[in-house]
Amino acid sequence: MENIDHEKRKMIVSYQKKGFAVNIVSILNSKSYRISVLMLTILFAIGIFYVTLGMRPRLDPVPDIKPVTPEKYNEWQQYVDVLQGGMYVMNLAVSDFPQGLFIIECFVWIQYDPRIFSRDTIEQFSFHRSRILEKEFIEATQVGNEIFARYRVRFETKSNLHFKYFPLDSHRIYMIWKYPKLAPGEVLITSTFSRTWFDTNAVSPNWKHGQLIATYGYLEYSLDNLNPTNKVRVPASMIFFDFERATVREALIVLVPYIILLFIVLTTLLLGLTHFQMLIVIMLSLLGVILHRTIVGSMSPMTSYFVLSDWVFWLVLIGIIVVFLVEIMNMLFFRHEMELINNIRGGVLNSLCVLFLVIWFYLLYIW
């Protein structure tokens, strides 16, 4: 009798386990569960996008301004005369952002000792990797034993911009003011943040700039790689600042259509469509992705490396192709087994949602 009761208990436990497993499988295969997975994926993707805004580092290379140290004074065996200078930027316009070209209109002021420097020498300043479009002398006033001279300058300058995170990129723009006909052993151009600033309306509302940072010293050019002593040094003062888009409008224009097309395809996995209907939606989505890629290509900077928008394109393209291949397999091998087809579609949906979130998080936060 006890053996019979023991066997009954084992059968009851076995049925309970099977029932639990069946319930889990039925939940995973239910349309409500798959809709929940899809909606959570969309919400998490939006959350990751929002949280990581402004977190990407600025990768733009900045020229190395070497400081004038006491050791350099000893090497040059003379005391360096100082030019104090500053800049007031009235207008900063983007000439060709993918090429890093900017047109800057500003007032440049220089305070110097006329017993050491002539006005002709003072006016020979230029800007590194720039082309001066206009230079106009405004006035010169006496300040104690020194002369305070002002110039209005309009020039086009080029910064080496790194676009790895396009269209969520932010940059560091630099301007280098130099005297190429003088040596750093003769003059030191000094400039500080308090002497350089932006007009409140200098930058277009589509852009915003960060705090100005100034440093000074000299630029050094090596003329012979085999002879490290054969160098040219130019006194220079560098001003750089962070520069980024004021809104995420361009990012939304570039990225959102990709994501919408991917989730349209993923949504078809829930709708119980026929093979023909699925393939029509997938082919139209593929065409939409390719067409949008051509539009984004005209907006994107020309680089030798993949930028963020490129990786999102490939992520979406591969995801849609995976759904296409799975649907071809269903049509060829499981045409009449609708329950199995629905289970396969559900598994593909769950897997792609997880993979999308992992790669999306990696691209926006870790990469």
Total Cβ atoms within 10 A of residue 139: 9
* pLDDT of the residue at 202: 75
Residue 117's pLDDT is what?
85
Q: Are residues 322 and 239 in the same domain?
A: no
> Which helix (DSSP H) or strand (DSSP E) does residue 237 occupy?
strand 231-245
Query: What is the extent of the structural domain holding 304?
Result: 31-53+249-366
The reply to whether 236 and 353 lie within a common domain is: no
Q: Which of 212, 245, 278 is the last residue of a domain?
A: 245
Residue 97 has pLDDT above 50, yes or no: yes
C-alpha 140/C-alpha 131 separation (Å) is 24
How many residues does the structure list for the chain?
367
Confidence class of residue 18 from pLDDT cuts 50, 70 and 90?
very low
Which CATH number covers residue 320? 1.20.58
C-alpha span between 332 and 330 (Å, rounded): 6
Alpha carbon distance 28, 346 (integer Å): 8
Q: Are residues 48 and 76 in the same domain?
A: no
CA–CA separation, 176 vs 128, rounded Å? 5
Distance CA 311, CA 41 (A): 19
Question: What CATH number should be reported for the domain holding residue 200?
Answer: 2.70.170.10
Are 94 and 238 in the same domain? Answer: yes
Would you say residue 105 has pLDDT above 60?
A: yes
* Section 101-125 average pLDDT: 87
User: How confident is the model at residue 308, as a pLDDT?
Assistant: 93
Asked if 223 contacts 230 with a C-beta cutoff of 8 angstroms, the reply is: yes
> Please, which pLDDT band fits residue 83 given cuts at 50, 70 and 90?
confident
Total domains in the chain come to 2
Residue of 258, 240, 208, 234 whose CA lies nearest to 45: 258
pLDDT of residue 173: 85
Alpha carbons 335 and 321: distance in angstroms, whole number: 20
For 174, the 3-state DSSP assignment is: strand
My answer on whether 155 and 47 are in the same domain is no
Is the CB of residue 237 less than 8 Å from the CB of residue 177? yes
Residues 252-291: tens digit of each pLDDT: 999 999 999 999 999 998 888 888 899 999 999 999 999 9
Supply the pLDDT for residue 7: 58
Rounded to an integer, what is the distance from CA 322 to the centroid of its chain? 29
Give the chain's mean pLDDT: 82
Task: Give pLDDT, residue 285.
Answer: 95
Lowest mean pLDDT of 42-51, 52-61, 298-307, 346-355, name the range: 52-61
Q: Which distant-in-sequence residues (6+ apart) come within 8 Å of 46 by Cβ?
A: none
The angle formed by the CA atoms of residues 140, 145 and 150, to the nearest 5 degrees, is 20
Q: Looking at residue 356, what is its pLDDT? A: 94
Percent of the chain with pLDDT over 90: 29
pLDDT (0 to 100) of residue 17: 47
Distance CA 111, CA 165 (A): 41
Q: Which residues are bridge partners to 130 per DSSP?
A: 157
pLDDT at 300 over 80: yes
Of the chain, the percentage scoring pLDDT greater than 70 comes to 86
Domain boundary among 229, 245, 261: 245
Higher pLDDT, 44 or 222: 44
206 to 95, 174, 209, 248, 348: CA distances (angstroms): 14, 19, 11, 10, 41
Say if residue 40 is in the same domain as residue 96: no
**Is there a domain that residue 16 lies in?**
no
- Count of CB atoms within 10 A of residue 318's CB? 13
How many other C-beta atoms are found inside a 10 Å radius of the C-beta of residue 188? 22
* Angle separating helix axes 308-333 and 249-268, nearest 10 degrees: 10
Rounded mean pLDDT of 187-206?
A: 70
pTM for the full predicted model: 0.80
Q: What is the rounded average pLDDT of the residues 40-53? A: 91
Task: Indicate the range of 5-9, 176-180, 329-333, 334-338 predicted with least confidence.
Answer: 5-9
Q: Are 234 and 128 in contact (CB under 8 A)?
A: no
Q: Return the DSSP state at 273.
A: -
Of the listed ranges 72-76, 84-88, 211-215, 263-267, the one predicted with least confidence: 72-76
Residues 240, 312 within the same domain: no
Question: Measured in whole angstroms, how far is the alpha carbon of residue 83 from the centre of its chain?
Answer: 37
pLDDT at residue 284, rounded to an integer: 95
> pLDDT at position 319, please?
95
Which of residues 197, 225, 245 is at a domain's end? 245
pLDDT at 20 over 50: no
23 pLDDT exceeds 60? no
Do 243 and 173 touch, CB atoms closer than 8 A?
yes
Q: Report yes or no: 356 and 39 within 8 Å, Cβ to Cβ.
A: no
Together in a domain, 78 and 213: yes
Bridge partners (DSSP) listed for residue 96: 101
Q: What is the pLDDT of residue 72?
A: 63
Cα 200 to the center of its chain, rounded Å: 25
Which of 8-12, 58-62, 113-117, 195-199 has the weakest average pLDDT? 8-12
241 and 191 in a common domain: yes
The terminus-to-terminus CA distance of the chain in angstroms comes to 67
